[in-house]
Structure formats: C-alpha cells, structure tokens
C-alpha cells in the first residue's frame, strides 16, 4: 500500500452522504479518501451503542446495505425484534438480526476501553473497507431537537420513533462544547496534503452542522489551502431522503438549494467555495453566485453506481478547477 496520506476529505451524514462516499470510493485510490462521519445521531438503546450514520457508511461501502429499505442490511431478518416485543420492550428502532451484531460488537469494544475511532477502524476493516472512515469525535455529542411544542427530543426519538413529525424550533448539540475532533481527523487537518474537502449531500442542520461546529472545525476547513465544495441535499425543493426540506420550512427558510447555500454562508461565512446544484435547480445558480460561491450545475440524483461515480468525478473536477 501507498504511504500517501488521504487527499480528499468527505464530510458525511447517513444515506445521502453515503451515496457520494460510495462514488468517491469507486474512483479514488483508497489511500486518497477519508470520510469523516457525523456522530450526533448516536444513541444508547437497550444497552447498545448505536451509531446510525457510521453504520450506514459501513453497510454502503461494504455492499451490505439494504437498497429496498434505504437503511440497514440486505437479507435482514427480524426474529430478535419479534422476540423483544413479547417482553414488552421498545421496538420502534428497527434492530435487525444481522444489524444487531454491529451494535453488540461496537458496544463490547467500547466497554473494553477502545475509542470509537479504533472500533470504527477495526469494524470497517473487518468488512473489507479500505478507505479511511473517521467518526467526527471519540466524545459524545448528542443532537437534540427542540420542538415547537416545547419538548426536547433526542434525535432518534424525533427521527425514527416520531417519524420527524414534531415541528422543529431549534437544534442543539449536547456535548459539542467540550468534544474534541477524532485524532485521525485532527491529524488530517494538520497536514497540507488535502486537495479537496467535499461536503456530501447530507442534512445541513443535523448531519453536517455537528461536524462543522465541533471545536471550530469549519474555521479550520475554511482556512485550508484547498477549496470546500458542497453538494446540495435539496433537489427541486425536496430532500431526496430525510427531513431536511421539512426542517427548512419549520425554520422559516424556503426549501431550495439556494436557501441551503444561504444558510451555509450565514452560519459559516467563507467556508463553501463551490456549490453543486442539480440540473433541475439551474435557475438558482445566480443566487448561489451572488453569495460568493461558485456554482456547478450537474446531475446530482444518484440512483445507480454509475450515477454515484459520475457525481464523484464531477465534484472532484470542479474542486480542482476552483
């Protein structure tokens, strides 16, 4: 293997981000790709430490993901969950029999004193993944949804149990003030060998924000020599997956690609150099340009493997040209 350090850093949440990450994995030398993953969605459930975004990355990059469900593993079964129900325990979180092994392995290793970084690295390796996948932090950061009805919900309660139905007033990241970047991310940011930073099409508020706001990560990324390129998670006014568009409405933003660009520019000024919009949103290029970002209009909806690799190529070429 090459000793060349990874040169492309991708920031990812769950499903949408994992698709582009898979595209990048398909076209880059493994040693050239590092993916830093949101851990704000992580939670403890039935005594297990569950890291939904890391799991989505792991299943996607190893070919284990369930394309039909859009989450979890293919050929999954539910005997555990059915048995659990007989004992009256909460079954709202879909723990498949295969998926359960992931949580048990992680929980066991964490309980033995391993860091989440170390556990993640060994688990990815066990499934044959040779790109670098880094949890954003080895410390606990917990995304909490403040609802318009006054309740505060742990993210998975909002997202899975309550199916994103509560209207959002605000979002906070408990623990983010003291959490540190994972050592591998810290080391990567300290090199001058990054050629591109790609923000995958993930939810700005709950998937990307925790990474960016962790210990000033966004300022460090802004000040790197290489450009930060962001792929809009909103296409034609809709999120392809998840509650991003609904959240934007509830947070009094239009649910548009341009509004995503506006959000980033307001909250992380100067961070995003290049903004990738879908062809259906080409009319918003000027609005993006007016914010000081360079727009790229291309096909961003990733259905096939070819789509994912094509977008990865477009984004990398765009980044090089910036």
Residues that bind a copy of itself (CB under 8 A): 46-48, 73, 76-77, 79-84, 86-89, 96-102, 104-105, 107-108, 111, 123, 126-127
What is the smallest separation between the CB atom of 242 and a copy of itself, expressed in angstroms?
26
Query: 194, 224, 198, 192: which is closest to 317 by C-alpha?
Result: 198
Burial 21-37 (b: 16+ CB within 10 A, else e): bbbbbeebeebbbbbbb
What is the smallest separation between the CB atom of 285 and a copy of itself, expressed in angstroms?
46
Closer residue to a copy of itself in complex, CB, 27/100: 100
Distance CA 99, CA 109 (A): 16
What is the smallest separation between the CB atom of 155 and a copy of itself, expressed in angstroms?
20
- The answer to whether the beta carbons of residues 33 and 2 sit under 8 Å apart is no
Alpha carbon 222 to its chain's center: 19
What is the smallest separation between the CB atom of 24 and a copy of itself, expressed in angstroms?
24
- The answer to whether the beta carbons of residues 53 and 116 sit under 8 Å apart is no
Closer residue to a copy of itself in complex, CB, 69/89: 89
- The answer to whether the beta carbons of residues 176 and 210 sit under 8 Å apart is yes
- Identify the bridge partners of residue 144 per DSSP, sorted by sequence position: 154, 172
Closer residue to a copy of itself in complex, CB, 82/178: 82
What is the smallest separation between the CB atom of 161 and a copy of itself, expressed in angstroms?
17
The alpha-carbon radius of gyration of the chain (Å, integer) is 19
- The answer to whether the beta carbons of residues 158 and 172 sit under 8 Å apart is no
Closer residue to a copy of itself in complex, CB, 98/313: 98
What is the smallest separation between the CB atom of 95 and a copy of itself, expressed in angstroms?
9
The residues, ordered by sequence, that sit 6+ positions from 286 with a Cβ below 8 Å of its Cβ are: none
Closer residue to a copy of itself in complex, CB, 55/213: 55
Distance CA 5, CA 15 (A): 26
Closer residue to a copy of itself in complex, CB, 75/192: 75
């Amino acid at each position: 293997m090459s000793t060349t350090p990874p040169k492309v850093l991708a920031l990812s949440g769950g499903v949408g981000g994992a698709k582009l990450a898979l595209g990048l994995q398909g076209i880059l030398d493994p040693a050239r790709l590092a993916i830093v993953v949101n851990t704000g969605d992580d939670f403890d459930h039935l005594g297990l430490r569950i890291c939904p975004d890391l799991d989505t990355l792991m299943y996607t990059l190893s070919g284990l993901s369930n394309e039909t469900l859009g989450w979890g593993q293919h050929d999954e079964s539910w005997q555990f969950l059915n048995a659990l129900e007989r004992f009256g325990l909460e079954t709202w979180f879909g723990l498949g029999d295969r998926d359960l092994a992931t949580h048990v392995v992680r929980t066991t290793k964490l309980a033995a004193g391993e860091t989440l970084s170390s556990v993640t690295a060994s688990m990815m390796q066990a499934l044959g993944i040779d790109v670098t996948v880094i949890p954003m932090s080895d410390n606990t950061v917990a995304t909490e949804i403040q609802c318009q009805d006054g309740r505060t919900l742990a993210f998975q309660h909002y997202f899975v149990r309550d199916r994103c139905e509560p209207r959002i007033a605000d979002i906070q990241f408990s623990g983010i003030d003291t959490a540190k970047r994972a050592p591998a991310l810290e080391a990567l940011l300290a090199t001058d060998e990054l050629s591109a930073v790609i923000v995958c099409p993930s939810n700005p508020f709950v998937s990307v924000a925790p990474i960016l706001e962790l210990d000033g990560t966004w300022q460090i990324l802004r000040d790197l020599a290489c450009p930060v390129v962001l792929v809009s998670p909103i296409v034609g006014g809709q999120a392809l997956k998840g509650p991003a568009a609904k959240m934007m409405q509830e947070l009094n933003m239009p649910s548009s690609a341009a509004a995503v660009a506006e959000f980033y520019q307001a909250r992380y000024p100067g961070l995003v150099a290049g903004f990738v919009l879908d062809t259906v949103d080409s009319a918003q290029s000027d609005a993006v340009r007016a914010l000081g970002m360079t727009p790229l209009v291309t096909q961003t909806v990733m259905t096939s493997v070819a789509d994912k690799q094509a977008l990865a190529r477009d984004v990398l070429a765009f980044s090089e040209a910036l």
